[in-house]
Amino acid sequence: MNKMKIALLVLTLLTCSNAFAKDKFSICWTIYVGWMPWDYGDSSGIVKKWADKYDIEIDVVQINDYIESINQYTAGQFDACTMTNMDALTIPSASFVDSTALIVGDFSNGNDGVVLKDKTSLADIKGQQINLVELSVSHYLLARALETVGMTERDVSVVNTSDADMVAAYTTNDVTSVVTWNPLLSEITAMPKANKVFDSSDIPGEIIDLLVVNTETLKENPKLGKALVGAWYEIMQVMQKDKAALTQMAVASGTDLAGYEAQLATTKMLYTPDSAVEFTESAQLPKTMQYIAEFSFKHGLLGEGAADSSFIGIQTPAGIIGDKKNIQLRFDPTYMKLAAEGKL
Amino acid sequence: MNFLSIENLYKSYGENLVLERLNLTVEQGEFVSMVGASGCGKSTFLNMLLGKEKQTKGKIVFEGKELTQEPDAERGIVFQKYSVFPHLTVLQNVMIADEFSHSPILGWTFGKSKKEIKQKAMSFIDAVGLSPAIKKYPHELSGGMQQRLAIAQALMKAPKILLLDEPFGALDPGIRADMHELILDIWQKNKLTIFMVTHDIQEGFKLGSRLWVFDKIRQDPQAPNAYGAQVTFDLSLTTENSKAAAKELLKEAS
Amino acid sequence: MKRLMNLTPSKPLSIFLSLMPFVLILFVYWNASNVRLAENPNDKLLPSFSQISSAVDRLAFNEDKRTGKYIFWVDTQASLYRIGLGILISAASGLIIGLLTGLVPIARSNLSPVVTIISLIPPMAILPILFISFGLGELAKVMLIIIGTAPVIIRDMQSRVLQLPSEQLIKAQTLGASTWLVALRVVLPQILPSLISSMRLSLGAAWLFLIAAEAIAAQEGLGYRIFLVRRYMSMDVIFPYVIWITTLAFLMDFSLKRLSQLCFPWYHDIESGK
């Protein structure tokens, strides 16, 4: 009888330690309209369900500071992180941390914008001081906006302004124009005399929100990719029909359902894996990444070793941009395709 | 008219009566030594003469007018310590007195008037024996030298009354004797009226031309603060005979 | 064998002991950096010494490609101007208000409570109010430094004035001085050395507020650069900037100390004699 007990105990211990031996991963995200689904996925148990299915553990961590979350990912503290296509290129990839865009979640379709005080036309921006978060997608948006009216950054002067203080900054007399993103953008455009003269819907599909995974980790653990993608598209399905889920995301991002839906209206969510695959495979993506690589090089974001904008290779299904021998950023639709085909 | 008269003077702090029913007159040129137990109000009395504290009742009449209720140049003071300015040299410490009056805006003098003030200051520095130290700062001086400096400083304004608040209390006995010589010499040469608080009755006898003893006549053990101190003895010390008589009287009293 | 507390190191030993922690820190860094760089030669978290020195060379001794400026010196100049102006205005207002409230009872009951309350408000908490009142330009940055440091200096100056022996103030009055002359010739020269030491103590806070102000909105400055390159984790720029800020802070502190020793020898004699 005693022997039986001991054997049982040993068995339990063994299974326990087996449970501990599960591969453990952690991903981080920050509050933004297109990334709120991760919060829902974590709290509703969808992420855990998919992790269990592939016999791994996934820890979902919210980080308050966006740049800090990317830096943490780049330093190796996280296996995956939410970020835009531009930050993926200029932070992890420029640090030679080979990264893969596992999920192409959405692109900004009016979520980022240029606002002028009193003036109504983009051409009036000439000679103005513009407050924005330098070297961010806002800066990129400004550069693209200036191109459309035949100007360059030399025609304006840029003041680096912390995003946390952007709304307060706009209320001061010194500030005549800002470039920023939602929800700050809608706060500012709601103020008197504010005119949105250019926004990301004028350059659709260029500011893309991704879930980026360390390429090496993904190669060694395809399970991680499958679990994350599987979870994501289940959340997407819920999101489209379940108002309660949307409300939960709205509250977590500090607004209400109406406010969150307004933000979603200016965000082109790629709800289905088909649409995401189609977007990733389109010939537009390498063109966009070319623009971004050029902008990043011009601002020294590709590092000192970069001789030109092709220094870092970017792989997309439609072709490789830049140095083929130095690919550090990969748009890989493999896992999204599996989801589309229902093979997860 | 008396030089200074004190008329029915009372001083209390709230319930605590410190001095009561003081009626005294002083003539110009007297040297009044004030002695008494600590807490008997002799320093409070000096502060009222100085204008630092205000009496509760009664008045002090000085040359026919009531005494100004704040310190001014008519009354010089030498404290036991902190009497001199630590950031000024000996010469500057003495000159500053006349620079105040000559330059009410800038506080500094230049050229001819500075030269004149310096001459005057040097004569007083000489008188207290500090000529070799004119460039020194107070912290470089001994305690006795600092008190000499404080006296020279006070003399610059030629005050009609010089108040001394235990001026030699912190000094070594040998140096104290030298200082006694000095103060007597200055008293006579400058025809000053001096009030000195001291806890050393021998010093009071030695220097004063008049001795006031502060003490409480009435005591109520139930309420020790109900009654204030008065001048219980007002003794003349102008001659050797009167000094001896005074000593005898005090011996009997104690 | 003497007790440990009575053992004083010889001069060479003392120099060795004081340098050792620095050498140790450098060694630990060098080691950690090597480990990370062996894994990924382009790691930006702990750049090698040669990467750092090439970043310094690029920023300090070569014109910036885009603007044609020597970025490092432009940043230094902008930051020094802001912190210098801020701390000077703080010191001046500290001196004037502190002297006034310390010496004049009417001014004390009028201003002292409000200064105390203001000094307790964390300036970073009222940033939006500062922006609305002072805009986003140079004025706002200097104002943030002033609001962060002036109340402390004012309170320190007030307490220094109150600590002056009352005997001195009375003595000056018996020498015929007016309030103005007491302030000018007795109080002012005696609190100037305290003002300098108060400024030295405020320097740390001043740098903190300067860098915060530059992080919020700026076009150049040491804090601006650090927060900007943080966006792409350029530690090869951040490390030299941090060392440079430390050096500047040390130099400012040291020169204020020397200035005080030169101008107020009597004060330092008394202090060291205590």
Q: Which two tokens stand for residue A261?
A: 């839906």
Residues B67 and B92 in one domain: no
C184 to chain B, closest Cα gap in Å = 7
Length of chain C: 274
Residue B37 falls within a domain, yes or no?
yes
Residue B56 falls within a domain, yes or no?
no
Taking 3-state DSSP, the helix, strand and coil percentages for chain B, each rounded to the nearest 5, stand at 40, 25, 35
Residue B51 falls within a domain, yes or no?
no
**pLDDT confidence tier of residue B215, bands split at 50, 70 and 90:** confident
Residues B174 and B230 in one domain: yes
Q: What is the edge-to-edge ordering of all strands in the sheet holding A194-199?
A: A194-199, A112-117, A177-181, A129-132, A157-161, C217-218
Local structure of residue C47 (DSSP, 8 states): -
pLDDT (tens digit per residue) in C123-173: 888 877 887 788 778 888 899 999 999 999 999 999 999 999 999 999 999
Nearest chain C alpha carbon to A132: C217
Of B87, B97, B150, which has the smallest distance from its Cβ to C176's Cβ? Answer: B97
Domain count, chain B: 2
Q: Which residues on chain C are in Cβ contact (under 8 Å) with B71? A: 170, 173-174
B52 to chain C, closest Cα gap in Å = 8
Residues B179 and B240 in one domain: yes
> Which residues are CB-neighbours of B76 under 8 A, at least 6 positions away?
B154, B155, B157, B159, B161, B162, B163, C174
Residues B67 and B187 in one domain: yes
Query: In a mutagenesis test of the C interface, which of B79, B100, B164, B197 is the best target, namely the one with the most C β-carbons within 10 Å?
Result: B100
Q: How many beta-carbon pairs under 8 angstroms link A with C? A: 90
Tally the C-alpha atoms within 13 A of residue B119's C-alpha that lie toward its C-beta.
Answer: 6
A171 to chain C, closest Cα gap in Å = 7
B30 to chain C, closest Cα gap in Å = 20
Cα of first residue to Cα of last residue in chain C, in angstroms, is 31
Query: In a mutagenesis test of the B interface, which of C175, C178, C188, C196 is the best target, namely the one with the most B β-carbons within 10 Å?
Result: C175
Do C136 and A298 count as a contact with CB atoms less than 8 A apart? no
Query: Chain C within 8 Å of B81 (Cβ-Cβ)?
Result: yes
User: Which of B118, B135, B158 is where one domain is finished?
Assistant: B158
Q: What are phi and psi of A143, to 5 degrees?
A: -60, -40
pLDDT (tens digit per residue) in C51-84: 889 889 988 898 877 677 888 999 999 999 999 9
Residues C169 and C182 sit within 8 Å (Cβ to Cβ): yes
Whole-angstrom distance, CA of residue B32 vs CA of residue B126 = 26
Query: Does residue C205 have a pLDDT over 50?
Result: yes
User: Which of B158, B187, B212 is where one domain is finished?
Assistant: B158
Do B71 and C170 count as a contact with CB atoms less than 8 A apart? yes
Q: Which two tokens stand for residue C100?
A: 């006034």
Residue B233 falls within a domain, yes or no?
yes
Residues B167 and B145 in one domain: no
**pLDDT confidence tier of residue C251, bands split at 50, 70 and 90:** very high
Of B52, B107, B157, which has the smallest distance from its Cβ to C185's Cβ? Answer: B107
> Which residues are CB-neighbours of B37 under 8 A, at least 6 positions away?
B214, B215
Do C40 and A168 count as a contact with CB atoms less than 8 A apart? no
Q: Which residues on chain A are in Cβ contact (under 8 Å) with C228? A: 134-135, 160
Length of chain B: 254
Query: Chain C within 8 Å of A174 (Cβ-Cβ)?
Result: yes
User: Which of B158, B193, B210 is where one domain is finished?
Assistant: B158
**pLDDT confidence tier of residue B119, bands split at 50, 70 and 90:** very high
Nearest chain A alpha carbon to C139: A174
Average pLDDT estimate for A201-210:
93
Residues B165 and B241 in one domain: yes
Task: Work out the burial of residue B38: count CB atoms within 10 Å of its CB; fewer than 13 is exposed, 13-18 middle, 19 or more buried.
Answer: exposed
Q: Which helix (H) or strand (E) holds C26?
A: helix C11-39
Residue B221 falls within a domain, yes or no?
yes
Residues B239 and B169 in one domain: yes
Residue B54 falls within a domain, yes or no?
no
Q: What are phi and psi of A261, to 5 degrees?
A: -65, -35
Q: Which domain holds residue B222?
A: 1-44+61-74+161-247
User: Does A contact B via 3+ CB–CB distances below 8 Å?
Assistant: no
Average pLDDT estimate for A315-319:
92
Give the predicted TM-score (pTM) of the model: 0.78
Residue B55 falls within a domain, yes or no?
no
Best CA proximity match to A95, nearest among C235, B235, B120, C162: C235
Cα of first residue to Cα of last residue in chain A, in angstroms, is 45
> Which residues are CB-neighbours of B15 under 8 A, at least 6 positions away?
B225
- Give CA torsion, residues B232, B236, B237, B241, to 10 deg: -110
Query: Chain B within 8 Å of C268 (Cβ-Cβ)?
Result: no
pLDDT of residue C97: 94
**pLDDT confidence tier of residue A23, bands split at 50, 70 and 90:** confident
**Residue B183: CATH number of its domain:** 3.40.50.300
Measured at the CA of C197, the angle between CA C161 and CA B140, to 5 degrees, comes to: 70
Q: Where are the alpha helices (DSSP H) in chain A?
A: 2-20, 36-44, 46-53, 66-74, 85-90, 137-148, 166-170, 184-189, 215-220, 222-241, 243-252, 257-265, 273-281, 284-298, 334-340
ipTM of the complex: 0.87
Query: Does residue A275 have a pLDDT over 60?
Result: yes
User: Does A contact C via 3+ CB–CB distances below 8 Å?
Assistant: yes
Query: Which chains contact B through at least 3 pairs of Cβ atoms less than 8 Å apart?
Result: C
Residues B193 and B239 in one domain: yes
User: Mind listing the domains of chain C with CATH numbers?
Assistant: 72-273 (1.10.3720.10)
Residues B148 and B183 in one domain: no
Residues B196 and B225 in one domain: yes
Residues B133 and B243 in one domain: no
Nearest chain B alpha carbon to C185: B107
**pLDDT confidence tier of residue A303, bands split at 50, 70 and 90:** confident
Residues B168 and B144 in one domain: no
Q: What is the edge-to-edge ordering of all strands in the sheet holding B161-165?
A: B75-78, B161-165, B193-197, B31-36, B210-215, B230-236
pLDDT of residue A233: 95
Residue B116 falls within a domain, yes or no?
yes
**A188-192, B238-242, C244-248: which has the minimum mean pLDDT?**
B238-242
Whole-angstrom distance, CA of residue B84 vs CA of residue B146 = 7
Q: For chain C, which residues lie within 8 Å of any Cβ of chain A, measuring from their own Cβ?
A: 40-45, 54-55, 58, 65-66, 127-128, 131-132, 135-137, 215-219, 224, 227-228, 230-233
Do B72 and C184 count as a contact with CB atoms less than 8 A apart? no
Residues A51 and A17 sit within 8 Å (Cβ to Cβ): no
The SS3 assignment for B2 reads coil
Q: In whole numbers, what is the pLDDT of chain A averaged over residues?
A: 89
